[in-house]
Amino acid sequence: MTLFSEINEQPERIRSLLSSQRKHIEKIAAEIQRHRVDYVFLAARGTSDNAGRYANYLLGAMNGLPLALATPSLFTYYKKPPTLKNALVIGVSQSGKSPDIVSVLEEGRRQGCMTLSITNEPNSPLAQNSDFVLELQAGAEKAVAATKTYTTELMSIAMLSAALSGNKKMWDDLGKVSAWMRETLKQNDVVAQAVQRYRYIDQTVVLGRGFNYATAFEWALKLKELTYIIAEPYSSADFAHGPIAMVESGYPVLAVAAKGKVLDSMLEMLRRLRSDIAAELVVISNDKKALSLAQVPLQIPADTPEWLSPLVSILPAQLFAYHLTLAKGYNTEQPRSIRKVTETK
């Protein structure tokens, strides 16, 4: 099993998760509704934290649920956990072994909150401290850089949102995700060729907004983990408030600009970067205008809805990071200084 094979496993893992877990997720959603929770309190680290960023937008936009991302150090080192009255406390972790994430769910339980874990390990400490467990069913992920556990986390969150909404159209769209993923992965050879242009870069920025704010963070993280370049993620709105000053002619800017509510603002930023500064643009999009602005356009299926675009748009980003790692002569399976399971406290 290699990083490349795990990237290509994702459409089938997503299809299987939808098929096997829908009824279970609908039962969890019914319990959440019965408890009448006021908000979601979510704890995660690393890649799983980026899945939490997606949940922040999705549960807010589709389900009217405010979401707060936990600060686990308040629970471990400071021993000053916040009051979690009437919260749904969610822990997201592929391994379920990180003590600081477990501590948040332990405290949630102590305060009488409903707790839910989203994990690939149903017998992990995180799962054991949860009222409900959403198993990712991603299979063993051997590569240090997480790929299929990230997209199954996103899919689990999307399924939970659909179950809470009771919206049949959302379920219909979820059934199309694996096909959109398979179509997107056909660009592998295009990506492998395109990254040769960037084999000597040592820094970049990654832009996204709305649902794909999470994608910007995850793309940047994969570049840091695998290629060791300085890759900083930004909301395109935040980027305009100062950081854009560091961009000059030829500077590589990576962006995710899917069709939807925030597309116009992304287009405005991309035009500014291309026309006014002559930046070097790599753009993942299903919009022709956005793709036309890029030196390297990476397309996702045109009918991918904005709320599900992070599940699809991350695939070209994963391929980009994988092939750039090879182009730079690094080991895609054993990035330096990091391990598969990081047990932070």
User: Is 340 a residue whose pLDDT tops 60?
Assistant: no
Cα distance between the two ends of the chain: 30
Q: What is the DSSP string of 147-210?
A: SHHHHHHHHHHHHHHHHHHT-HHHHHHHTTHHHHHHHHHTTHHHHHHHGGGGTT--EEEEEE-G
Confidence of residue 328 (pLDDT cuts 50, 70, 90): very high
Range 229-241 average pLDDT: 96
Model pLDDT, residue 334? 87
pLDDT of 16-67, one tens digit each?
999 999 999 999 999 999 999 999 999 999 999 999 999 999 999 999 999 9
Confidence of residue 345 (pLDDT cuts 50, 70, 90): low
Confidence of residue 336 (pLDDT cuts 50, 70, 90): confident
Confidence of residue 338 (pLDDT cuts 50, 70, 90): confident
pLDDT of 134-176, one tens digit each?
999 999 999 999 999 999 999 999 999 999 999 999 999 999 9
Q: Cβ-count burial of 74 within 10 angstroms (0-12 exposed, 13-18 middle, 19+ buried)?
A: middle
Specify the DSSP element, H or E, that contains 283.
strand 280-285
Comparing CA positions, the residue from 136, 170, 131 lying closest to residue 156 is 136
User: Is 209 a residue whose pLDDT tops 60?
Assistant: yes
Confidence of residue 1 (pLDDT cuts 50, 70, 90): low
Looking at the DSSP bridge assignments, the partners of residue 118 are 92, 134
Backbone angles phi, psi at 89, to 5 degrees: -100, 120
DSSP H helices, the chain, are 3-35, 46-63, 99-110, 125-128, 148-165, 168-174, 177-185, 188-194, 213-227, 236-240, 263-271, 288-292, 309-327
CA–CA distances in Å: residue 216 to residues 1, 137, 208, 221, 249: 26, 25, 5, 9, 22
Model pLDDT, residue 73? 95
CA distance 330 to 343: 25
Range 275-289 average pLDDT: 97
Q: What is the pTM for the complete model shown? A: 0.96
User: Is 68 a residue whose pLDDT tops 70?
Assistant: yes
The count of other CB atoms within 10 Å of the CB of residue 310 is 31
Residue 219: CB partners within 8 Å, gap ≥ 6?
206, 208, 231, 233, 254, 256, 314, 317, 320, 321
Q: What is the average pLDDT score of the chain?
A: 96
Q: What is the DSSP string of 258-275?
A: -SSTTHHHHHHHHHIIII
Confidence of residue 101 (pLDDT cuts 50, 70, 90): very high
Model pLDDT, residue 343? 66
pLDDT of 303-325, one tens digit each?
999 999 999 999 999 999 999 99
User: Is 341 a residue whose pLDDT tops 70?
Assistant: no
Range 179-196 average pLDDT: 98
Confidence of residue 103 (pLDDT cuts 50, 70, 90): very high
Domains of the chain: 3-175 (3.40.50.10490), 179-327 (3.40.50.10490)
User: Is 239 a residue whose pLDDT tops 60?
Assistant: yes
Output DSSP code: residue 276: I
